[in-house]
Amino acid sequence: MIKKCFHTTALVLLFNSTVTQAQLNFTGLDSLLSYAERNSSTIKICHQQSLLAKWTKVAAIANTVNFKSPVSFSATDNLQLPVNFLPAEAFGGPAGTFREVTLGQEYVSNFNFNPQLDIINPYNWAKVKSASVSKEMTEVSNQINKKTLFENIAAAYYNSIALQEQIILTEKSLSASDSIQQIVKNKFDLGIIREQDFNNALVNRLNIQDKLTQLKVMLQQQLNALKVLCDISPGTQITLQNNSTTELTDNNLKATGNLNSRYSTLQNQFAKSELRANRMVMMPVLSFFYYQGWQHNSNMAFFDSKSTWIRSNYIGLKITVPFPPDVTKMSQSYTSKINYNIAELNNSHSELQTELNNRSLELDYDKAISTYQTGKQIFDLKNNNYQKSIEQYKAGILSTDNLLIAFNDMVNSQLNVVAAFSSSQFIKSKISINNSLK
C-alpha cells in the first residue's frame, strides 16, 4: 500500500513538473505571429464572425423568393350545429314562413397544403446586395482586428527583445561598477579620496542594481502581455530570439496599408444599398401560390370509413401593393438617405487619413533610423570618454564624480542604442503588417 501511494505521488509530481516546465521558443516575430494566428481567441472570434456573415448572405439570397409552405390539419367536433332559417315554401310549406334547418356535419377534418413564393420582390432582391457588402465589411473588419493584434504583439515582442539585451548590458555594467567600486575603495583605503567619493561609488552600484531589477520586472510584464495576446497558458515559459540583427539600411520603405479606407468605402456601399432597398419596399410584390386541400365530413365519428375525403386545389398569382404607405418604412428611407450622405463624407475623409497615416509611418521609420544611427555615434563617443576617464582616474588626474558621470553616460547611451534599434525594427514590422493585410 505504501509503495502504491509512493508511485501515485511520484506521478503527480512528475505531471506538475511537466506542466510547470512547459516552454515555447520563438525564433522571431514571424513565428510568434504564426502561433497567434493559430491560437489567439481574437482570430478565432473573427472566423466565427465570418461564418455569421456568410450565412446571413445565404439567408438573404434564399429570402428573394420568400418561400412559404404552410401545412395545417384540423379536426373539429361541432357539438351543436348552427340553425338556419330557410323559406318554408321550399319544403312545401306556406309562403312567407320559414323553417328551422340544421346544416353541416358534426365531425369535420381538414388537411391543407398552401405553398407560396415571390416571383418579383424588389426589396428582398436589394437586401442581397446589402448582405453581400456586409459580408465584405466583416472580412475587412476582421483584417483590421488582426492588424491591431499583430501590431500589439510586435510591440510587446520588440520591447521584450530590447529588455533582454538591456538586461545583458546592465549585468555587464554591474560587473564594471564593481570594478570601479574596488578601485575607489583602494584609493579610499590609502586616504587619497574622501569618504563621499566612496559612498558615491556605492550609490552608483546600487542604482545599477536597481535598474537591473526594474528591467527584469518590465521584461516579465511584456512576456505576460504576449501571453494574453497570443492566449498562452500563464505557466508556460516563453523564450524569444531576434533574427533581425542586421543593420537598418532600407530608408525608402513604403507604407501602402489601406484597410481603414477599404472599410469606409464598404460602409459607403452598404449605406447606398440600404437606401436602395428601403426605397424598394414601396414597390409591389408579385407572388405565386398553390392550394391543395382535403376535407372529411361525418355525423358518425372522426375519419368515418363510410365517408370519403373531398379534395380541392387551385393555383394563382397575387400582387401585393403596400397602400397606404407604411410611415415607419418611409421614415427608414429618409434615414437611409441621411446615413448615405454621412458615409460619403466619412469615406472621403478616410481616404485622406489613410494616405496621411502611411506617410506618418514612413516618417516614423526614417526618424527611428536616424535616432539609431545618432545613438551609435553618441555611444562610441561616450565609450571613448569612459575608457579615457578610467585611465585618468587611475592616474589620479580625474575626480570620482567625473568618472561616475562618464560611466553612467556610457551605460545609458548603450541602452539607448538598443532601445532605438528595437524601436526601428518595430516600426518596420508595423509597416510590413499594414502592407501585407489587405
- Does the structure show a pLDDT above 80 at 95? no
Of the pLDDT bands very low, low, confident and very high (cuts 50, 70, 90), residue 19 is very low
Please give the grid coordinates belonging to residue 85.
Answer: 332559417
What's the pLDDT at 166? 96
Evaluate if residue 15 carries a pLDDT over 80: no
Least-confidence region, from 79-93, 272-286, 350-364, 380-394: 79-93
So what's the pLDDT on residue 247?
57
Query: What φ, ψ does residue 310 adopt, rounded to 5°?
Result: -100, 125
Provide the mean pLDDT of the chain.
Answer: 87
SS (H, E, C) the chain: CHHHHHHHHHHHHHHHHHHHCCEEEECCHHHHHHHHHHHCHHHHHHHHHHHHHHHHHHHHHHCCCCCECCEEEEEEECCCCCEEEEEHHHHCCCCCCEEEEECCCCEEEEEEECCEEEEECHHHHHHHHHHHHHHHHHHHHHHHHHHHHHHHHHHHHHHHHHHHHHHHHHHHHHHHHHHHHHHHHHHHHCCCCCHHHHHHHHHHHHHHHHHHHHHHHHHHHHHHHHHHHHCCCCCCEEEECCCCCCCCCCCCCCCCCCHHHHHHHHHHHHHHHHHHHHHHCCCCEEEEEEEEEEEEEECCCCCCCCCCEEEEEEEEEEEECCCCCCHHHHHHHHHHHHHHHHHHHHHHHHHHHHHHHHHHHHHHHHHHHHHHHHHHHHHHHHHHHHHHHHHHHHCCCCCHHHHHHHHHHHHHHHHHHHHHHHHHHHHHHHHHHHHHCC
Question: What pLDDT was estimated at residue 22?
Answer: 84
Residue 130: how many other CB atoms lie within 10 Å: 22
Length of the chain: 438
- Which pLDDT score, from 0 to 100, does residue 323 have? 79
Q: What's the longest Cα–Cα distance across the chain?
A: 152
pLDDT recorded at residue 282 = 84
> Does residue 251 have a pLDDT over 70?
no
Is the previous residue joined to 70 through a cis bond, with omega within 30 degrees of 0?
A: no
Mean pLDDT of 324-332: 79
pLDDT the model gives residue 21: 56
The string of pLDDT tens digits covering residues 403-438 is 999 999 999 999 999 999 999 999 999 999 999 988
C-alpha neighbours within 13 Å on the C-beta side of residue 36:
26
pLDDT band at 290 (very low <50, low <70, confident <90, very high): very high
Q: What confidence category does residue 104 fall into, taking pLDDT thresholds of 50, 70 and 90?
A: confident
CA distance 405 to 401: 6
Q: Is the pLDDT of residue 10 over 50?
A: no
Among 1-5, 22-26, 173-177, which is the least confidently predicted range? 1-5
* pLDDT per position as a tens digit, 172-213: 999 999 999 999 999 888 888 899 999 999 999 999 999 999
Q: How far is CA 235 from CA 31, 165, 191, 213, in A?
A: 20, 24, 54, 21
